[in-house]
Structure 1
Amino acid sequence: MPPSNNALLRYATLDECLQRRARRWTFAELQAAVAERLDAQLGTRGKVSVRTLREDLKNMRPGGSTGYEAPIAFSAEQGYYYSEAGYSIFNMPVTIEDLAVLHQVLRTLRQLQGLGMADELRELVQRLELRLSYQERLQDRVAVQFEQAPQYQGQQWLKDLYAAIGAQQSVWVAYQPFGAEMATREVVSPYLLKQYNGRWFVVGQRHGRAASVFALDRIQGLEPADEPYQASPSDPATWFEKLIGVSLLPDAQEAVVQLRFTPGRLPYVLTKPMHASQQVRETEHGPVVELRVVPTRELLTLLLSFGGAVEVLGPAELREMVQQELWRAVAHYGEEVT
């Protein structure tokens, strides 16, 4: 089991003391130094017990549970000290097991760089990569591959919107929907950043109007506003519990969507549910997948992506919408390509 944060802080404090070989460290002095550090950083307001400190020294020594193999020695004349000059638990080389973990973590960190929420993250990744570049014991083989974060057009707004949500700061948003000739500018109180299907959206209250969802790639400008922040009366994250996608339809009613999949497609849907409400009902004609959701354009798009592998049994309005879209698709293939 990995050591706790308190234990790591104690080990670091002991390491710092034992490196100072010019000073004679008694057990009581080490105990006092560790207690002072814990109080300063964690506000413990207590002492470190004799038993705890003895266990820490034991765990740091060769054969101890930490793996530090620290050369901790003791003599009546010198007290506690490192018998190896220049030793520190932080000088330990990165092991091959550590490298395997770090290489995979680096790939995850690269995904977060695209969010633009922490400029320091880029420097951190570069430092880690530089450190790992000097280790030649591990071949750079990919064991875990994530979807690469694309250079999304609206990602430059993520950092400012994230900060505005945290600070409860209203903002001016210049927004140009697809098909609009120019952007319109209005004040928005942002509530939530949400990603769906590789795109980022911000959910917020439009001042003087209803709450809306804005695609970040359609935002043309963003700046702080002087108007008071309008807090949400409920948790915006719950607004999407009955939805597939990001379309807010306050007046729409939840429906039971019934779907019949082909035997070849059904296992994929069962192992990767389309929605948290997904259930399977056995019928005389085979399994029927049921979703309790508000019908949205994103749901329609998802159903169409299954092509002929799904039949919408209900509700009737959704079945008709899917049928009409499929007829339109078939019509494209009734003429020769020119």
Structure 2
Amino acid sequence: MPPNKNFQRRITILDECFASRTGLFTLERLGDILYERMGFTISRRTIQNDIDYIRGIIEENLSKTSSIDEFTVFVPKLFDGKKTAFRYSDADYALGNQLLSKSDQEQLEETLAILSRYRNRADFDWLDALFPRIETSFNLAHEDYNGLISYQSNRDYVGQPLVGKLYNQLLRKKVLKISYKPFDNLDSYLRIIHPYHLKQYNNRWFLFGLQDDENYKGITNLALDRIQDFTETNENIKKDQIEWGDYFDDMIGVSKNEDDKPIQVKLKFDKKRIKYVLTKPIHGATQKLDVADSDKSTILIEVVPNRELYQTLLSFGKDVRVIEPDLVKEEMRKHAMVLIEYYKI
């Protein structure tokens, strides 16, 4: 079974169907879905071979973590009328949650070998950051590799197990009913979300999407560590209208209301600290030096004044002073007064 582009696409589509908790997928319906998604007919025999391939991958991975000899990958005796239907007996069997098979690992290694030819080109310097992440994520590195490089991460982050599961939901384009419990609530409550985008910030993950229920209507974000559970619904997902590559350009972090507008913030840094700010910008999309400052220690940024902005500014302590605007100065003054109260003798 050659791992060509059509094959990989068929496997992805079938995997989405089998992981779905709604609907029954017979061979005939799977054929119809493949035709709709790919634009040409897939034979019944090919679909059966694809099912056997998927079953083999999942069984191989399950055998690595369990002593059971046989695994029920698909729900047994599931019928739509008199026709056999296919559904994973556990939605977590979705291929996005599986380890790499031996053949997949070999293909990935071959791909990395090809890409490595371009690592010395200036326009491919992003590969230097990508390679170590792929190698460590899929155990492709030399055994001493972890002693050479480390990345900032939080191994105990509660929301980490949901990243892969929600990513699969983004691919399947399913509306979700999410049980959510904010830190300031004793009880969780339900939110209906059209999921569009996952973003990591400050070692936490956030799901962005359109909330459409009685509590709120509009773009929102949910911290993964506050999601208690989620289920798919039968609703049709509303088309994503946002260019996520641009969405975060006017903000630090993840907090933004739909009516928030960016403002220009002028910041004066200590002469020793400004060097660090120039090499690691606070806001790379808009940060620039204030040419009016002869000391070259003042920068301008255009951002939404959210809580992440103030957290960032406070992290510089006495090494930064807000010059303008007044609303940001006032907010920083409030924080400073609280700190003074903390350390009164």
Quick check: TM above 0.5?
yes
Q: Which runs of 5+ in 1 are unaligned?
A: 1-97, 113-120, 134-138
The within-5 A match list for 1:39-78 is none
Distance 1:259 1:106, change over 3 A: closer
Residue number in structure 1 paired with 2:181 = 176
Q: 1:157 aligns with which of 136, 159, 162?
A: 162
Q: 2:207 aligns with which of 202, 206, 215?
A: 202
What is the RMSD computed on CA atoms of the aligned residues? 2.4
- Counterparts of 1:298 and 1:110 in 2: how far apart (Å)? 32
Report the 3-state secondary structure (helix = DSSP H, G, I; strand = E; otherwise coil) of the residue aligned with 2:308.
helix
- Counterparts of 2:242 and 2:197 in 1: how far apart (Å)? 12
Q: Among the aligned pairs, what percent are the same residue?
A: 29
Distance 1:286 1:189, change over 3 A: same
Residue number in structure 1 paired with 2:252 = 244
Residue number in structure 2 paired with 1:108 = 133
Residue number in structure 1 paired with 2:330 = 320
Report the 3-state secondary structure (helix = DSSP H, G, I; strand = E; otherwise coil) of the residue aligned with 2:147.
coil
Distance 1:182 1:110, change over 3 A: farther
Distance 1:301 1:224, change over 3 A: same
CA contact (8 A) 1:192 1:237 kept: no
Residue 344 of structure 2 is aligned to residue 334 of structure 1: yes
TM-score by length of 2: 0.57
CA contact (8 A) 2:153 2:203 kept: no
- Counterparts of 1:105 and 1:257 in 2: how far apart (Å)? 33
Q: 2:295 aligns with which of 286, 291, 306?
A: 286
Distance 1:111 1:188, change over 3 A: farther
CA contact (8 A) 2:219 2:258 kept: no
Report the 3-state secondary structure (helix = DSSP H, G, I; strand = E; otherwise coil) of the residue aligned with 1:210.
strand
Report the 3-state secondary structure (helix = DSSP H, G, I; strand = E; otherwise coil) of the residue aligned with 1:156.
helix
Residue 157 of structure 2 is aligned to residue 147 of structure 1: no
Q: 2:305 aligns with which of 295, 304, 313?
A: 295
- Counterparts of 2:266 and 2:282 in 1: how far apart (Å)? 12
Report the 3-state secondary structure (helix = DSSP H, G, I; strand = E; otherwise coil) of the residue aligned with 1:211.
strand
- Counterparts of 2:331 and 2:146 in 1: how far apart (Å)? 47
Instruction: Report which structure shows greater RCO (CA 8 Å, sep ≥6).
Output: 2
The within-5 A match list for 1:112-123 is 112=137, 121=138
Letter of the 2:175 counterpart: S
- Counterparts of 2:341 and 2:135 in 1: how far apart (Å)? 44
Deviations 1:217-254 (A, max 9, x none): 00001111111111222223422110101002211221
CA contact (8 A) 2:256 2:304 kept: no
TM-score by length of 1: 0.58
The count of aligned residue pairs is 214
Distance 1:248 1:140, change over 3 A: closer
Q: Which runs of 5+ in 2 are unaligned?
A: 1-112, 117-128
Letter of the 1:108 counterpart: R
Please identify the structure whose Cα radius of gyration is greater.
1
- 1:106 Cα offset (Å): 9.1
